[in-house]
Amino acid sequence: MTTLEQRAREEGTPVIDGETATFVWRGRKPVSVAGDFLDWSGEPIPLKEVAPGLWTHTLTLPRDSYVEYAFLDAKGRRVRDPLNERLTSNGFGDFNHYFHMPESRPTPLALRQRGVPRGTVTRHLVETHEFCVGSQRAVHLYAPPTSEPCPLVVVFDGPDYLRRSKLPSIVDNLVAQGRIRPIALAMVANGGPARTVEYTCSEATVVFLLDKVLPLARCELNLLDETREPGVHGVLGSSLGGLISLYTGLRAPHVFGRVLSQSGAFSVWNRDFVVFDLARNASSRPLDVWMDCGHFEALVEGNERMLPVLRSSGHRAEYREYHGGHNYSAWRDNVWRGLEWLFGTGKQGRREE
């Protein structure tokens, strides 16, 4: 009979059976586990000794969950799980382990597909004037493989969406499959230590987009004219980037009429941001707003409250939860849904990717 430890060594950890995932640790001293299932807050869960030197803990999770986790020793220091070689950056200079439940898989849209025309990505530096920290800010521009003018999507935390979420490849594949119209991207770097200040409903950030990023994009890309098609462009971001995306749309709806917010941090630190007040007021031009958020995140509550506020003010809004947490892998695997909803051709039908 195969033991749990044998399965862990053969299959990797956690050991998955249907809706359960069992973490396994072999060592003299115990470890605890933290992860998306706790929203990375509160006390880590200690593994229990089930045999001399063998420690386990079992979670029950939805069958389509994607989960990141870390083992911690008694002093709270990260310890690598030797039975799980799957690692991904946590965005803070370290790595998380990850796993997929039986009905979860990474989106194939993030992979380069043979025969699919590829857009081009170029790096630029723009003067920040007094709108942002530092004298210059990096912007990566993506031009889709088309000669026709197209909408622009400004992407906050641009380098992360470029490298970690593979956004250009996702757009290439969606366009090639006829699921969205061609779109251009302006992937804007954040301000590092100043990111929180820049992204928490900063009017200076909106002006930076309008006065610096948009002119650069107009010069380098073949864009539709927002003065002839008001609200044709979009904004995209996650967490505080989702917050500033919605704020940008509400403050400049005639330019950025399409908002894609992933895990939008509309209510944190025990307070609602001003986007709730702005959303309650009828806009001169209603927005199209797609919001999604991971089921394990505390940010779900703010997103659930935002949806009826937007709809009651005349905005076209949609909200979706998925079984995941607050990380770029989850945002990568779900961003296509928002892109289809905002820029779809009507040909995409029902898909699960």
Q: What is the CATH number of the domain that holds 83?
A: 2.60.40.10
- Using an 8 Å Cβ cutoff, are 296 and 330 in contact? no
Residues 94 and 124 in one domain: no
Determine how many CB atoms are found less than 10 A away from the CB of residue 177. Answer: 16
Domain residue limits at 22:
7-100
- Using an 8 Å Cβ cutoff, are 322 and 334 in contact? yes
Give pLDDT, residue 135: 94
Give pLDDT, residue 348: 53
Is 349 a domain residue? no
Where is the domain boundary, 56, 78, 100?
100
Is 76 a domain residue? yes
The length of the chain, given as a count of residues: 353
Residues 203 and 67 in one domain: no
Beta-carbon contacts of residue 311 (< 8 Å; ≥ 6 apart): 317
Give pLDDT, residue 91: 85
Give pLDDT, residue 347: 61
* Peptide linkage before 46 cis (omega within 30 of 0): no
Is 71 a domain residue? yes
Residues 116 and 95 in one domain: no
Is 147 a domain residue? yes
Residues 81 and 16 in one domain: yes
Which CATH number do you get for residue 233?
3.40.50.1820
Residues 142 and 229 in one domain: yes
Stated as kind and residue range, the H or E segment containing 317 is strand 316-322
pTM for this one? 0.95
Where is the domain boundary, 100, 116, 138?
100
Stated as kind and residue range, the H or E segment containing 142 is strand 136-143
Give pLDDT, residue 350: 47
Number of structural domains the chain divides into: 2
Determine how many CB atoms are found less than 10 A away from the CB of residue 118. Answer: 16
Residues 331 and 241 in one domain: yes
Three-state DSSP class for 114? coil
Half-sphere exposure of 211 (CA within 13 A, CB side): 12
Residues 93 and 112 in one domain: no
Give pLDDT, residue 92: 83
Residues 279 and 143 in one domain: yes
Is 95 a domain residue? yes
Is 260 a domain residue? yes
Residues 141 and 268 in one domain: yes
Residues of the chain with confidence (pLDDT) below 70: 1-2, 347-353
Residues 128 and 255 in one domain: yes
Give pLDDT, residue 64: 97
Is 348 a domain residue? no
Where is the domain boundary, 82, 100, 118?
100
d(CA 177, CA 199): 34
